[in-house]
Amino acid sequence: MKSVARRMEESLAHGPIHFTLIDPDKTRGRSAGELAREAERFGSFAILLGGSTGITPEKMADATRSVHRESTLPVIIFPQGPESLTGEADALLFMSLLNSRNVTHVIRLQARAARHVKKLGLEPIPVGYLIIAPGMKVGEVGEADCIDRSDHSAAVGYALAAQFLGMRLVYAEAGSGAPAPVPGPMIRDLKQALSIPLMVGGGIRTASDASSVLEAGADAIVTGTVVEEDGKEALEPILGEVRRRRGG
Protein backbone atom coordinates (compact mmCIF):
# COMPACT_ATOMS: atom_id res chain seq x y z
CA MET A 1 0.00 0.00 0.00
CA LYS A 2 1.36 3.42 -0.97
CA SER A 3 1.91 5.89 1.84
CA VAL A 4 -0.69 8.62 2.24
CA ALA A 5 2.02 11.24 1.64
CA ARG A 6 2.88 9.57 -1.67
CA ARG A 7 -0.79 9.40 -2.71
CA MET A 8 -1.15 13.05 -1.83
CA GLU A 9 1.89 13.97 -3.91
CA GLU A 10 0.51 12.03 -6.88
CA SER A 11 -2.90 13.61 -6.56
CA LEU A 12 -1.42 17.10 -6.27
CA ALA A 13 0.31 16.55 -9.60
CA HIS A 14 -3.19 16.74 -11.18
CA GLY A 15 -4.27 19.93 -9.40
CA PRO A 16 -5.54 21.08 -6.01
CA ILE A 17 -7.09 18.70 -3.47
CA HIS A 18 -9.71 18.95 -0.74
CA PHE A 19 -9.81 17.61 2.79
CA THR A 20 -13.08 16.99 4.61
CA LEU A 21 -12.67 17.72 8.30
CA ILE A 22 -14.80 15.56 10.57
CA ASP A 23 -15.06 16.28 14.29
CA PRO A 24 -15.73 12.87 15.86
CA ASP A 25 -17.30 14.50 18.92
CA LYS A 26 -19.95 16.20 16.78
CA THR A 27 -20.32 13.70 13.94
CA ARG A 28 -20.69 10.38 15.71
CA GLY A 29 -20.81 6.77 14.63
CA ARG A 30 -22.50 6.06 11.35
CA SER A 31 -22.80 9.75 10.37
CA ALA A 32 -19.02 9.99 9.97
CA GLY A 33 -19.10 7.19 7.41
CA GLU A 34 -22.08 8.71 5.60
CA LEU A 35 -20.31 12.03 5.35
CA ALA A 36 -17.14 10.32 4.06
CA ARG A 37 -19.17 8.52 1.40
CA GLU A 38 -20.54 11.82 0.10
CA ALA A 39 -17.14 13.48 0.35
CA GLU A 40 -15.63 10.72 -1.77
CA ARG A 41 -18.45 10.97 -4.30
CA PHE A 42 -17.77 14.71 -4.71
CA GLY A 43 -14.01 14.10 -5.07
CA SER A 44 -12.52 14.94 -1.66
CA PHE A 45 -9.00 13.50 -1.22
CA ALA A 46 -9.13 12.41 2.42
CA ILE A 47 -10.85 12.72 5.76
CA LEU A 48 -9.11 14.83 8.38
CA LEU A 49 -10.30 13.65 11.75
CA GLY A 50 -10.07 15.96 14.75
CA GLY A 51 -11.79 18.43 17.03
CA SER A 52 -10.88 20.79 19.82
CA THR A 53 -13.02 19.41 22.67
CA GLY A 54 -14.36 16.06 23.84
CA ILE A 55 -11.88 13.97 21.84
CA THR A 56 -11.02 10.46 23.06
CA PRO A 57 -9.12 7.64 21.34
CA GLU A 58 -12.39 5.62 21.33
CA LYS A 59 -14.32 8.34 19.48
CA MET A 60 -11.43 8.67 17.01
CA ALA A 61 -11.34 4.89 16.45
CA ASP A 62 -15.14 4.63 16.03
CA ALA A 63 -15.25 7.44 13.50
CA THR A 64 -12.28 5.96 11.60
CA ARG A 65 -13.93 2.56 11.37
CA SER A 66 -17.14 4.14 10.17
CA VAL A 67 -15.28 6.10 7.46
CA HIS A 68 -13.39 2.97 6.36
CA ARG A 69 -16.63 1.00 6.14
CA GLU A 70 -18.30 3.54 3.87
CA SER A 71 -15.48 4.89 1.73
CA THR A 72 -11.99 4.26 0.44
CA LEU A 73 -10.75 7.67 1.61
CA PRO A 74 -7.67 7.70 3.84
CA VAL A 75 -8.24 8.89 7.40
CA ILE A 76 -5.65 11.39 8.55
CA ILE A 77 -5.61 12.45 12.18
CA PHE A 78 -5.65 16.21 12.74
CA PRO A 79 -4.38 16.01 16.31
CA GLN A 80 -5.25 18.13 19.31
CA GLY A 81 -3.15 16.09 21.70
CA PRO A 82 -2.27 12.51 22.66
CA GLU A 83 -6.00 11.67 23.08
CA SER A 84 -6.42 12.06 19.30
CA LEU A 85 -4.27 9.05 18.46
CA THR A 86 -5.74 5.81 17.17
CA GLY A 87 -3.96 3.04 15.31
CA GLU A 88 -7.10 2.62 13.16
CA ALA A 89 -6.23 5.75 11.16
CA ASP A 90 -3.95 5.75 8.13
CA ALA A 91 -1.75 8.75 8.91
CA LEU A 92 -1.52 11.84 11.03
CA LEU A 93 -0.53 15.43 10.43
CA PHE A 94 2.54 15.58 12.64
CA MET A 95 2.28 19.30 13.19
CA SER A 96 4.30 21.93 14.92
CA LEU A 97 2.31 25.07 15.73
CA LEU A 98 5.12 27.37 14.70
CA ASN A 99 3.64 30.65 15.92
CA SER A 100 2.64 29.49 19.38
CA ARG A 101 4.03 31.40 22.38
CA ASN A 102 4.20 28.12 24.24
CA VAL A 103 6.94 25.65 23.37
CA THR A 104 4.51 22.86 24.37
CA HIS A 105 2.65 23.34 21.06
CA VAL A 106 5.84 23.80 19.08
CA ILE A 107 7.63 20.61 20.12
CA ARG A 108 6.81 19.23 23.61
CA LEU A 109 3.49 17.56 22.76
CA GLN A 110 5.14 16.07 19.68
CA ALA A 111 8.01 14.67 21.74
CA ARG A 112 5.49 13.14 24.15
CA ALA A 113 3.47 11.58 21.32
CA ALA A 114 6.29 10.39 19.04
CA ARG A 115 6.91 6.96 20.58
CA HIS A 116 3.19 6.28 20.70
CA VAL A 117 2.86 7.22 17.02
CA LYS A 118 5.64 4.77 16.16
CA LYS A 119 4.09 2.00 18.23
CA LEU A 120 0.70 2.49 16.58
CA GLY A 121 2.32 2.31 13.16
CA LEU A 122 0.81 5.65 12.12
CA GLU A 123 2.35 7.44 9.15
CA PRO A 124 3.46 10.90 10.31
CA ILE A 125 3.21 13.68 7.72
CA PRO A 126 5.41 16.58 8.91
CA VAL A 127 3.45 19.85 8.79
CA GLY A 128 4.33 23.44 9.67
CA TYR A 129 1.10 24.81 11.17
CA LEU A 130 0.53 28.57 11.11
CA ILE A 131 -2.38 30.38 12.67
CA ILE A 132 -3.54 33.53 10.93
CA ALA A 133 -5.93 35.97 12.67
CA PRO A 134 -8.59 35.63 13.96
CA GLY A 135 -7.43 32.09 14.85
CA MET A 136 -10.69 31.27 16.66
CA LYS A 137 -10.65 28.46 19.24
CA VAL A 138 -7.45 26.83 17.99
CA GLY A 139 -5.66 30.18 18.25
CA GLU A 140 -6.62 30.35 21.94
CA VAL A 141 -5.96 26.74 22.80
CA GLY A 142 -2.69 26.76 20.90
CA GLU A 143 -1.65 30.05 22.58
CA ALA A 144 -0.83 31.43 19.14
CA ASP A 145 0.57 34.85 18.40
CA CYS A 146 -1.85 34.99 15.49
CA ILE A 147 -0.25 36.38 12.36
CA ASP A 148 -1.94 39.62 11.38
CA ARG A 149 -3.94 39.25 8.17
CA SER A 150 -1.83 41.93 6.50
CA ASP A 151 1.54 40.71 7.79
CA HIS A 152 2.59 38.72 4.75
CA SER A 153 6.27 38.84 5.60
CA ALA A 154 5.72 37.15 8.98
CA ALA A 155 3.63 34.44 7.32
CA VAL A 156 6.23 33.88 4.59
CA GLY A 157 9.04 33.79 7.18
CA TYR A 158 7.36 31.04 9.20
CA ALA A 159 6.36 29.09 6.10
CA LEU A 160 9.85 29.16 4.62
CA ALA A 161 11.31 28.17 7.97
CA ALA A 162 8.98 25.13 7.91
CA GLN A 163 10.22 24.23 4.45
CA PHE A 164 13.86 24.66 5.42
CA LEU A 165 13.26 22.44 8.47
CA GLY A 166 12.14 19.69 6.10
CA MET A 167 8.38 19.76 6.67
CA ARG A 168 6.31 18.35 3.82
CA LEU A 169 3.42 20.81 3.99
CA VAL A 170 2.54 24.24 5.31
CA TYR A 171 -0.94 24.60 6.75
CA ALA A 172 -2.16 28.23 6.97
CA GLU A 173 -5.25 28.28 9.16
CA ALA A 174 -7.64 31.13 9.99
CA GLY A 175 -9.37 28.96 12.62
CA SER A 176 -12.41 26.73 12.34
CA GLY A 177 -15.54 28.85 11.86
CA ALA A 178 -13.53 31.99 10.99
CA PRO A 179 -15.71 34.70 9.40
CA ALA A 180 -13.44 34.78 6.34
CA PRO A 181 -10.70 32.55 4.95
CA VAL A 182 -6.97 33.42 4.93
CA PRO A 183 -6.72 36.47 2.63
CA GLY A 184 -5.92 35.84 -1.05
CA PRO A 185 -2.93 38.21 -1.22
CA MET A 186 -1.29 36.41 1.73
CA ILE A 187 -1.89 33.03 0.06
CA ARG A 188 -0.35 34.41 -3.13
CA ASP A 189 2.84 35.49 -1.32
CA LEU A 190 3.07 32.19 0.55
CA LYS A 191 2.66 30.20 -2.63
CA GLN A 192 5.25 32.25 -4.44
CA ALA A 193 7.82 31.67 -1.70
CA LEU A 194 7.24 27.97 -1.10
CA SER A 195 8.21 24.89 -3.03
CA ILE A 196 6.25 22.53 -0.74
CA PRO A 197 2.44 22.32 -0.91
CA LEU A 198 0.33 24.95 0.81
CA MET A 199 -2.81 23.87 2.61
CA VAL A 200 -5.39 26.50 3.62
CA GLY A 201 -8.34 26.17 6.00
CA GLY A 202 -10.75 28.03 8.22
CA GLY A 203 -13.79 29.99 7.06
CA ILE A 204 -14.23 28.40 3.61
CA ARG A 205 -18.01 28.07 3.27
CA THR A 206 -18.96 28.74 -0.33
CA ALA A 207 -17.83 27.98 -3.86
CA SER A 208 -16.74 31.58 -4.12
CA ASP A 209 -14.55 31.31 -0.97
CA ALA A 210 -13.03 28.13 -2.35
CA SER A 211 -12.49 29.74 -5.72
CA SER A 212 -10.62 32.75 -4.31
CA VAL A 213 -8.42 30.63 -2.06
CA LEU A 214 -7.59 28.26 -4.94
CA GLU A 215 -7.12 31.11 -7.40
CA ALA A 216 -4.59 32.66 -5.00
CA GLY A 217 -2.60 29.42 -5.13
CA ALA A 218 -3.64 27.06 -2.33
CA ASP A 219 -2.73 23.47 -3.22
CA ALA A 220 -5.13 21.99 -0.70
CA ILE A 221 -8.20 23.33 1.07
CA VAL A 222 -9.89 22.13 4.22
CA THR A 223 -13.56 22.53 5.12
CA GLY A 224 -15.34 21.47 8.29
CA THR A 225 -17.96 23.84 9.69
CA VAL A 226 -19.90 24.26 6.46
CA VAL A 227 -21.11 20.65 6.57
CA GLU A 228 -22.00 20.88 10.28
CA GLU A 229 -24.09 23.99 9.51
CA ASP A 230 -25.50 23.33 6.05
CA GLY A 231 -25.29 19.57 5.57
CA LYS A 232 -23.30 17.30 3.29
CA GLU A 233 -24.69 18.87 0.09
CA ALA A 234 -22.71 22.03 0.90
CA LEU A 235 -19.59 20.14 -0.18
CA GLU A 236 -20.76 19.78 -3.77
CA PRO A 237 -20.20 23.37 -5.00
CA ILE A 238 -16.93 23.65 -3.07
CA LEU A 239 -15.62 20.42 -4.56
CA GLY A 240 -16.88 21.66 -7.93
CA GLU A 241 -14.23 24.41 -7.77
CA VAL A 242 -11.55 21.85 -6.95
CA ARG A 243 -12.64 19.48 -9.74
CA ARG A 244 -12.73 22.32 -12.28
CA ARG A 245 -9.04 23.03 -11.57
CA ARG A 246 -8.20 19.35 -11.83
CA GLY A 247 -9.64 19.29 -15.32
CA GLY A 248 -12.77 17.35 -14.45
Cβ–Cβ < 8 Å for 186, 159: no
224 sits near ligand 1GP (criterion: CB under 6 A): yes
- Of 110 and 176, nearer to ligand 1GP (C-beta) is 176
- Of 97 and 222, nearer to ligand 1GP (C-beta) is 222
Near ligand 1GP in 10-29, by CB under 6 A: 21
- d(Cα 73, Cα 91) in Å, to the nearest integer? 12
Q: How far is the CB of 119 from ligand 1GP (least distance, A)?
A: 26
- d(Cα 215, Cα 193) in Å, to the nearest integer? 16
173 sits near ligand 1GP (criterion: CB under 6 A): yes
Binding residue for ligand 1GP (CB under 6 A) from 225, 234, 239, 241?
225
Helix, strand or coil, per DSSP, at residue 121: coil
- Of 10 and 140, nearer to ligand 1GP (C-beta) is 140
Binding residue for ligand 1GP (CB under 6 A) from 203, 211, 212, 216?
203
- d(Cα 171, Cα 130) in Å, to the nearest integer? 6
Number of amino acids touching ligand 1GP (CB under 6 A): 14
170 sits near ligand 1GP (criterion: CB under 6 A): no
- Of 24 and 203, nearer to ligand 1GP (C-beta) is 203
Stretch that binds ligand 1GP, among 58-66, 145-153, 173-181, 183-191 (CB under 6 A): 173-181
Q: Which residues bind ligand 1GP (CB under 6 A)?
A: 21, 173, 176-178, 201-204, 222-226
